[in-house]
Amino acid sequence: MVSLLQKVRFLVRTKIIKLKWWAFMPYYEHLLVQARYIYSQSELYRLRRNEQGMEFAENAFEENVDHFFWKAKKEPFQIRARIFFDSLVNKKPRAYFLFE
């Protein structure tokens, strides 16, 4: 049988998870815009656009969203910091890149 302490721990953990999602949701929305930008610059996007058309290439992002979201989280610190600060001040999400 589940003890009262286990129930309380479960409730506290779920509240903490919900609080984290609430706090970081704008950041994740901005990261998703960056992920879509990385996808649009990728070789995979170019191949799909050339072989199956622009509409297919645009709609196929959902298939690989996990991969490009991971790549967006691995962007250079300057880009991730800019995304984070823009999400804090509620700026409109946009893509960033570094000049080389």
Q: What is the mean pLDDT of each run of 10 residues along the chain (100 residues)?
A: 87 94 90 92 89 85 87 91 92 86
Q: How far is CA 24 from the centre of its chain?
A: 10
pLDDT of the residue at 81: 92
| Nearest by Cα to 58 from 68, 72, 46 | 46
pLDDT of the residue at 1: 64
Number of H helices, E strands in the chain: 5, 0
| Positive or negative: CA dihedral 9, 14, 15, 20 | positive
- How many C-beta neighbours within 10 Å does residue 7 have? 10
The pTM (predicted TM-score) of the whole model is 0.75
pLDDT of the residue at 65: 85
pLDDT of the residue at 100: 64
**Strand ranges in the chain using DSSP code E only, listed in sequence order:** none
Q: Which two tokens stand for residue 79?
A: 């880009």
pLDDT of the residue at 39: 92
